[in-house]
Chain A
Amino acid sequence: MIDPVPVALLALVLACALATAVLRDVLAAIIAFAAYSLGIAMIWVLLEAPDVGLTEAAVGAGVTTILFLVTITKTVRPPSEAIFESLDPKGLLVAVLIAGVLASTLGALPPVGSAETPVAQSEVTDYYLDNAYEQTEVKNAVTAVLAAYRGFDTMGEAVVVFAAGVGLLVVLGREVFA
């Protein structure tokens, strides 16, 4: 028996992805892209990764959409009645080929929630789950890994975000975000 919820979500994500690609109006494509991110976020929650789902919902569906909207305010709508973009056969071929190559690896993936996956069998995972609370005193093992066990990584990520902002300022030739 196939669970209808993931199937419906996957259909939504697929439909939104296709709509993003083929819609002629950029505004419509951006909104379809936001809906795609929302669908992906719900899939993360279904896969019991709420931390990732939160990120996807906030960044993908929220901030990115607004940044895109700000970006297109300088553009003009092409005076055309067509709803869909005419498809470029060469581009379509490349896209189908890439999707085909990626899909060919699907068979190698373990089933969702399988106990046989390398992550579930790894000694490191067991160590984190057994000791995270005693050693770090936080109940969310994900946070324990991010902010304590692998904190050097996380500090690097935070500095990368900082560097992105500095990079923007350098490109704009300004000292403040204005």
Chain B
Amino acid sequence: MSTPESEPVTSEDGDTGDSDRTLYVESPIIMGTVRVVAPFVFTFGLFIMFHGADSAGGGFQGGVIVSTVILMLAVAFGVESTRDWVTPERLVAIVGVGVSVVLLLGIGTVALGGSFLEYDVVPIDHFNKYGIELFEIGIGVIVSGIVAGLFFGLAAGASGDQRNDRDADEREGLL
């Protein structure tokens, strides 16, 4: 995986006082550490997610660990540039795919004439095992997407970035 390419966002007014702390500080130590650690954490997260059926772990834990990679990149290279690299729309789409996979597995087995999550009815060899794996991966995708999303949502408020704010009328309409 590659790191976000755009320039890290630095604080514009240089040395800021305590009262005006910005979210992101460019630090060669953090950037170097994240560069080395991120691929390993990502691999470990995927391992936990995929291997959860046979050892400790599962979709939830693996998903959280995978999402920490995005959080690490954001801490090291700036939240805005990482968010633009991930693209917020893609994040929402990924979560939607995860929910669809889980729902499809559950309801799909019912549609095939079994009961809920009765993997046996799917005419694929060893679908019990693969079905459980798929279920776990679906959960992992949901969790990693939502955790990264929560982080970006919170960080957008913290950095005072107003450009995505809707006006009050529109917000009322949504609620």
User: Measuring CB to CB, which residues of chain A are less than 8 angstroms from any residue of chain B?
Assistant: 50-51, 53-55, 58-59, 62-63, 66-67, 70-71, 73-74, 76-77, 135-140, 142-144, 146-148, 151-152, 154-155, 157-159, 161-162, 164-165, 168-170, 172-178
Contacts and interface: CB of A to CB of B under 8 A. Distances in A.
Given A136-B128, A143-B58, A71 B158 contact: yes
Contacts of A138: 53-54, 128-129, 132
Contacts of B55: 139-140
A3 to B, nearest CB: 22
A147 B131 CA distance: 9
B154 A71 contact: yes
Contacts of B142: 158, 161-162
Contact of A168 (B149, B159, B166): B149
Contact of A174 (B52, B67, B147, B164): B164
A162 B150 CA distance: 11
Given A140-B54, A151-B106, A168-B149, A173 B154 contact: no
B132 A136 contact: yes
Size class of B's contact patch? Answer: 35 or more
A58 B63 CA distance: 10
Nearest to B86: A177
A50 B51 CA distance: 14
Given A136-B128, A170-B174, A148 B61 contact: no
Interface string B108-148: 00000000110100000010110010011011001101111
Given A58-B61, A136-B129, A138-B54, A173 B174 contact: yes
20 contacts: A55-B60, A58-B65, A58-B68, A63-B64, A63-B68, A67-B151, A70-B23, A73-B159, A143-B52, A143-B136, A147-B58, A151-B106, A152-B116, A162-B146, A165-B145, A168-B149, A174-B164, A176-B88, A176-B92, A177-B91
Given A66-B75, A155-B106, A140 B128 contact: no
B102 A51 contact: no
Interface of B: 18-19, 21-23, 48, 52-61, 64-65, 67-68, 71, 75, 83, 88-89, 91-92, 95, 98-99, 102-103, 106, 116-117, 119, 126, 128-129, 132, 135-136, 138-139, 142-143, 145-160, 164-166, 170-171, 174-175
A73 B64 contact: no
Contact of A155 (B48, B102, B157): B102
**Interface secondary structure of A, over-half rule:** helix
B127 to A, nearest CB: 9
Contacts of B147: 63
Given A63-B151, A177-B148, A178-B153, 5 more contacts: A138-B53, A148-B128, A158-B102, A164-B150, A173-B171
- Of all A-B residue pairs in the complex, the 10 with the closest CB atoms, nearest first, are A176-B88, A173-B171, A177-B149, A50-B56, A151-B117, A138-B53, A165-B146, A58-B64, A137-B129, A54-B61
B19 A76 contact: yes
A162 B95 contact: yes
Contacts of B75: 66
Nearest to A48: B56
Contact of B91 (A54, A63, A136, A176): A176
B53 A66 contact: no
